[in-house]
Homo-oligomer: A and B are copies of this chain.
Amino acid sequence: MPKHPDPARRSERSRQAILDAARELVSEVGYAKVSIEAIAARAGVGKQTIYRWWRSKGAVIFDAFLALSEADEGGMALPDTGDIEADLKTVMRATVAEFADPAFEGPIRALTTEIINDPGLAAQYRERLAAPVDEVKKARLRSAQQAGQLAADLDLGVALELLYAPLFQRWIYRSGPLTPDYADTLVDLFLKATRP
A170 to B194, CA, bound (A): 19
The contact of A193 among B109, B119, B170, B189, by CB within 8 Å, is: B189
Q: Which residues of B contact A116 (CB under 8 A)?
A: 109, 112-113, 116, 172
Q: Is the CB of A122 within 8 A of B166?
A: no
Q: Is A123 interfacial (CB 8 A cutoff)? A: yes
Q: Is the CB of A185 within 8 A of B113?
A: no
Closest to A134 in B: B175
Contacts A162-B166, A166-B162, A189-B194 known; A173 to B113 CB distance under 8 Å?
Answer: no
Q: Is the CB of B117 within 8 A of A113?
A: yes
Q: Is A55 interfacial (CB 8 A cutoff)? A: no
Q: Is the CB of A112 within 8 A of B193?
A: no
Q: Is the CB of B169 within 8 A of A122?
A: no
| Residues in A lying within 8 Å of B, measured CB to CB | 32, 109-110, 112-113, 115-117, 119, 122-123, 125-126, 130, 155, 157-158, 161-162, 164-170, 172-176, 182, 185-186, 189-190, 192-194
CB pairs A–B below 8 angstroms (26 shown):
A32-B117, A109-B117, A112-B172, A113-B113, A113-B116, A116-B116, A119-B174, A122-B175, A123-B174, A125-B173, A126-B173, A126-B174, A130-B173, A155-B185, A157-B176, A158-B185, A158-B186, A161-B165, A161-B169, A162-B166, A162-B189, A162-B193, A165-B165, A165-B166, A189-B193, A190-B193
Closest 6 CB pairs of A and B: A193-B193, A165-B165, A161-B166, A165-B169, A165-B166, A189-B193
